[in-house]
A and B are shown apart, each in its own frame.
Chain A
Amino acid sequence: MTNAHTGDHALEPGFDHTVTTVVNGVPCELPVAAGMSLLDALREHLRLRGTKKGCNQGACGACTVHVDGRRVLSCLTLAVQCDGREVTTIEGLAGPGETLHPMQAAFVAADGFQCGYCTPGQVMSAVALLAEGHGGSDEEIREWMSGNLCRCGAYNGILSAIKAVRDSGTGDTDA
């Protein structure tokens, strides 16, 4: 079966479940093993490598994506559980050559990163945070971003970026 993102025929032994899902607006059928995480399916099958594998145990938030519009950890979500659901990754916010999502642009403007490894997860979480209505005080933003660790310590820049998007009123959607 054909992977709509890469054109690959990716059937492999043991990959005996087929997940029908929509990833970044593109319908696709994914052959997966039962124990495969959504994170691995995105990165290894769909070659969507913007979503990062940090701890792979639900402790860092680098793998944050949206499933049916809610932010979740793709490392602890099994790919098979996404059958019939819609997944949005960092690539879904803005494709190559497209204008950056307002939250991405704000991270650049506010120095919301250093090494950048946690950034896709931070941005996906930040977009969700504003959509949830948790962008009030600095304290509230920090609390509701606490599931995304940044070992470079760019937290102040991240906070500034989120506030800038909040105040511009442009960033509360997936696309």
Chain B
Amino acid sequence: MREVAYLAVADVDSAIAALAAHKNSMLLAGGTNVVDYLRAGAISPSVLVDISKVPITDVQVGEAGFTIGGLARMSDVAANPGMRAFFPVVSQALELSASAQLRNMATIGGNLMQRTRCGYFREAGFACNKRTPGSGCAARDGLNRPHAVLGGSGHCVATHPSDLAVALAALDAMMHLQGPAGVRQIALTDFYRMPGDTPQLENALQSGEMIVQVSANGTPGAAGSHYLKVRERASYEFAVVSVAAVVNASGGVIETARIAFGGVGTVPWRDHAAEHALAGVIAADSGALRLAADAALAGAEPLTHNGFKIEMGRRALVRAVQTAAGAR
């Protein structure tokens, strides 16, 4: 691993000051992504600012909503009794991520900032516009089974790997970012950027800012919300396709649904077209649900090896919605 300087800070203000004071500095929390990609050469900060002991780990949950400190551990958030009761989609997305060891380390802010698992991003010998802007994209004409069918560009088709972000997208979660100018809020679905011709710019976090909190309001159906994750093996694996479903049903009829997909997009993919199509459908009517699901993932453009994700995503949607509606 190339040499890197290190300093630890004890509070948010010190972290922001350290980011401003040191060129090419990067925050380090749980380390599960930063240390791995630093060692692989996919990222190359000069200074690591360790925020792992900054005490913004509080988790508050009620039926009306939740706030999560940016440095709360994945395992602690998932196991929070209020989260399990009122927003199970969050607990499920977290516990279907990584492994027990990694969830004990990784933070919520770090999870939302994690880089893609595109194999070409990781390996310095391949062209990757995200790692080395202007070098090209080895994935577009390479082995692209795990890549995105939505939101890609000629410059990048890497998926965003976070399960948590998919659940939060369905809940209309807000990100709270603190920088030299204070705290600002941005919707999670506005936080992530499509790659366009600048795939190295992945989100709205400005230089010198950090994620200090994530929050969401309660919504009808949240207590039955569900996260369905389809993987290449039964556990400890990133999603091929995933669905976060928050469904408000009355008398077996879907009134409103909030749907987001993982594994298919370059960003966590909130799908309003699918939500419109699901409204009014009887949740137990699998045939009607399957017809509605055809509206999902509209505009998908498969690459050579990942066309199966479109049908898989629609079938996963049916199952996730039925589970969330209590119809299976």
Contacts and interface: CB of A to CB of B under 8 A. Distances in A.
Interface of A: 14, 17, 33-35, 37, 56-58, 61, 64, 70-73, 75-78, 80-81, 83, 125, 128-129, 132, 134, 142-144, 146-148
Q: Which of B100, B102, B104 has the most chain A CB atoms inside 10 A of its CB?
A: B100
6 contacts: A37-B35, A71-B104, A77-B35, A83-B8, A146-B100, A147-B102
B273 interface: no
B38 interface: yes
A144 B50 CA distance: 28
A142 B6 CA distance: 37
Contacts of A142: 235
B5 A73 contact: no
Contact of B101 (A57, A72, A80): A72
B31 A64 contact: no
A58 B4 CA distance: 20
B50 A81 contact: yes
Contacts of A80: 6, 8, 50
A143 B78 CA distance: 15
A125 B100 contact: yes
Contact of A71 (B2, B36, B100): B100
A134 B100 CA distance: 10
Interface string B40-53: 10000000101010
A114 to B, nearest CB: 20
Interface of B: 1-6, 8, 28, 31-32, 35-36, 38-40, 48, 50, 52, 75, 98-102, 104-105, 234-236
Given A34-B48, A37-B35, A78 B28 contact: yes
Given A34-B48, A78-B31, A81-B31, A72 B105 contact: yes
Given A61-B99, A78-B35, A146-B235, A34 B4 contact: yes
Contacts of B28: 78, 81
A149 to B, nearest CB: 8
Nearest to A145: B100
A35 B1 contact: yes
A13 to B, nearest CB: 11
B121 to A, nearest CB: 14
A35 B4 contact: yes
A12 B4 CA distance: 16
A81 B32 CA distance: 13
Contacts of B2: 35
B3 A33 contact: yes
Nearest to A129: B100
B35 A147 contact: no
Given A76-B36, A76-B105, A81-B50, A34 B5 contact: yes
Nearest to A143: B235
A72 B6 CA distance: 21
B100 A78 contact: no
A56 B28 CA distance: 18
B171 to A, nearest CB: 24
Given A56-B39, A78-B6, A81-B28, 16 more contacts: A14-B3, A35-B39, A61-B101, A70-B75, A71-B100, A72-B101, A72-B105, A76-B32, A77-B105, A80-B50, A128-B100, A144-B100, A146-B100, A146-B236, A147-B99, A147-B101
